[in-house]
Amino acid sequence: MFIARQKRKENIAEYLLYMWQVEDLIRANCFDMDQIRATIVSQYDQPDNVKEEIAHWYEDLIEMMRSEGVMEKGHIQLNKNVIITLTDLHLRLLKSPKEMVYGATYYKTLPYIVQLRAKSGGEDLPEIEVCFNALYGYLILKMQGKAICVETMEAIKQISAFLAMLSAKYRDDINGELKLED
């Protein structure tokens, strides 16, 4: 909860990846609040009232996952909305003549996006979501200690740079500092 709040303020890409991880942690704990309290909430070095607040946050997320039918896979609407918002910003940035560096970074990333879409069965996912899926998949492989080939690392490096730039533009936009038109 605290980590999510902080990441949302500082870096929207890290926030989304964190929230996807939280969804998977909930699944790994079988939506069992006793188990979540024992394996996750108890690890926080916080007073009991704060731990209760954290537990309540997990309970709310569990309820969202159940009601939205994403218990086995997929993401809650709250997280989908981040993708929608970032996709909207991405399209605005591409249209802006002031954002040539952003556009160049995107076009440098595009071949990786196309390749990843083809590997994933040609799903019609938004490009931004494809990028996040790639990063999340990479993080999972890394946590599992699996070998990652040079080509994948090259793609991840470019996608990370692209999402970092998009995240910075998002922060500027939220703070009213992004000027796309004259």
Structural domain spans, the chain? 2-67, 77-174
What's the confidence (pLDDT) of residue 120? 79
User: SS3 for 177?
Assistant: coil
What's the confidence (pLDDT) of residue 14? 96
- CA distances from residue 32 to 28, 35, 37, 40, 55 in whole angstroms, order as listed: 9, 5, 9, 11, 11
Question: What is the rounded distance in angstroms from the CA atom of residue 52 to the CA atom of residue 80?
Answer: 27
Residue 158 carries which side chain, given as an amino acid letter? Q
Question: What is the rounded distance in angstroms from the CA atom of residue 128 to the CA atom of residue 102?
Answer: 14
Q: What is the pTM of this model?
A: 0.92
Q: Radius of gyration (Cα) for the chain, nearest Å?
A: 18
What's the confidence (pLDDT) of residue 9? 87
Structure tokens at 171: 């922060």
Mean pLDDT, all residues of the chain: 94
Mean pLDDT of 136-153: 93
Whether the per-residue pLDDT at 32 is higher than 80: the answer is yes
Whether the per-residue pLDDT at 121 is higher than 80: the answer is no
What's the confidence (pLDDT) of residue 13? 96
Residues 6+ apart with CB under 8 A from 137: none
> Which pLDDT band holds residue 158 (cuts at 50, 70, 90)?
very high
Alpha helices in the chain (DSSP H): 2-10, 12-28, 33-39, 48-67, 77-95, 100-119, 127-143, 150-174
Mean pLDDT of 138-155: 93
Please tell me which of 13-17, 114-118, 147-151 the model is most confident about, judged by mean pLDDT.
Answer: 13-17
- Between the two ends of the chain, the Cα-to-Cα distance in Å is 39
Structure tokens at 119: 């590997």
Cβ atoms of 44 and 54 within 8 Å: the answer is yes
Whether the per-residue pLDDT at 110 is higher than 70: the answer is yes
Tens-digit pLDDT profile for residues 59-105: 999 999 999 999 999 999 999 999 999 999 999 999 999 999 999 99
Question: What is the rounded distance in angstroms from the CA atom of residue 128 to the CA atom of residue 134?
Answer: 10
Lowest mean pLDDT among 4-13, 19-28, 65-74: 4-13
Q: Which of 17, 12, 14, 13 is nearest to 137 (CA)?
A: 17
Cβ atoms of 85 and 8 within 8 Å: the answer is no
Number of residues assigned to the chain:
182
Whether the per-residue pLDDT at 122 is higher than 70: the answer is no
- Burial of 36: CB neighbours in 10 Å, binned 0-12, 13-18, 19+: buried
